[in-house]
Amino acid sequence: MDKERNTVVALVGCGYWGPNLIRNFSSLDKAVVKWACDRSEDRLAHMQRLYPYLDTTTEIDQALSDPEVDAVAIATPVGLHYRLGMQCLDAGKHLFIEKPMAISSQECRELIERAEEKERTLMVGHTFIYTSAVRRIKEIVRSGDLGDVLYISSRRLNLGLFQKDINVAWDLAPHDISIILYLYDQIPETVNCQGKAHMAKGIEDVTNMTLNFDGGGYATIMSSWLDPNKIREMTIVGSKRMLVYNDIEPREKIKIYDARVERPPHYDTFAEFQYSYHYGDIYSPHLNQTEPLRAECDHFINCIRTGERPETSGYEGLQVVRILEAASESLRNEGAAVPYSEAITAVIRA
């Protein structure tokens, strides 16, 4: 593409999340948002009040037929991601899709294939990968400061917002899964999930998922729309130190605890056996205060302009959806372990 001119973006889906994407794409030097598309005239009127220069439409085709449009960002309900995404790729546009990428791994694979055929950039909105906190945690884990990562536990809870088409795991856990895969740098071997649907038949509003990794890695994810408190907390337990990431904290989001448990190297009798508990200092590293969504939008635009593969490409989107599918299968089988299919692994590593 012509690198001298701004990348022109159309935004599809202007509900709760879409306006955040419009704001962030608009704040970039090399991008301009030209179109806002939504089925709701009220939402479009609201967008035009905020950004009077926007062209608006209820029909995605109108934005897609504009030859000036280079890229489309989709922030509609998940069930529409595949159909709208395919339309965008077929129209030759680069594509950003919100998480979760689609409602099945089959849909994700078709989107990946179509993007490759058309030589278009495909990126998925795994926003947390672009936060300074998660970047810093990755550096800390990689440096060996925590020792071996023994397990990760994550909780993402609040009251609502209830979704009609997907359960709470599909709604909230994509964030935790994407962070956990990024930190472990591995795909799980098996997935277990249990949950309950209290408010709407068949749509779980509380779930507990576990991911088991080759080599002993283990992660748990609790997701809920039925909790009085907003909690976004991840604990990474290492053999040397432990780290707590609290995304609600405005300043000290990461705390590293110099805490561990040691087993005695040798003992002859049970009476001699004693764990030793080590409690040391707590340290909170400084983090840059950059808006993750801005970094995410900037990365998408840069990938379009350079042809580089996004850090959260369709392949990462597919991995998350495959885990959600395995979790759904496990939910139907009372929490039984479901293997992460070999066939899908082959696609990802291709």
Ligand X SMILES: NC(=O)c1ccc[n+]([C@@H]2O[C@H](COP(=O)([O-])OP(=O)(O)OC[C@H]3O[C@@H](n4cnc5c(N)ncnc54)[C@H](O)[C@@H]3O)[C@@H](O)[C@H]2O)c1
Under the rule (CB under 6 A), what is the footprint of ligand X? 12-18, 37-40, 43, 60, 75-78, 80, 98-99, 125, 127
Residue number, 17 or 51, with CB nearest to ligand X:
17
Toward ligand X, which CB reaches closer, 70 or 171?
Answer: 171
Kindly tell me which of 149 and 169 has the beta carbon lying closer to ligand X: 169
For residue 101, the minimal CB distance to ligand X (Å) is 9
Smaller CB separation from ligand X, 40 or 284: 40
Q: List b or e across 60-77, with b for residues whose CB sees 16 or more CB atoms inside 10 angstroms.
A: beebbeeeebbbbbbbbe
State the residue number with the nearest CB to ligand X.
15
State the nearest-atom distance from the C-beta of 145 to ligand X, in Å: 28
Phi, psi of 183 (to 5 degrees): -75, -45
Copy the structure tokens of residue 282: 């707590």
- Least distance between ligand X and beta carbon 218 (Å): 25
What lies within 8 Å, CB to CB, of 128 at 6+ separation is 134, 175, 178, 179, 292
Question: Least distance to ligand X from the beta carbon of 123, Å?
Answer: 12
Q: Any idea what DSSP says for residue 101?
A: -
Q: Are 204 and 195 in contact (CB under 8 A)?
A: yes
Token pair, residue 42, equals 């009220």
Least distance from C-beta 31 to ligand X, angstroms?
18
Residue with smaller CB distance to ligand X, 37 or 254: 37
Q: Indicate the residue among 241 and 299 with the shorter CB distance to ligand X.
A: 299
Q: What count of other Cβ atoms lies within 10 Å of the Cβ of residue 117? A: 10
* Helix/strand/coil for 238: strand
- Tell me 271's DSSP state: G
Say how many Å lie between the first and final Cα of the chain, rounded: 27
The pair of three-digit structure tokens given for residue 67, joined into one six-digit string: 């030859």
What's the closest the beta carbon of residue 239 comes to ligand X, in angstroms? 32
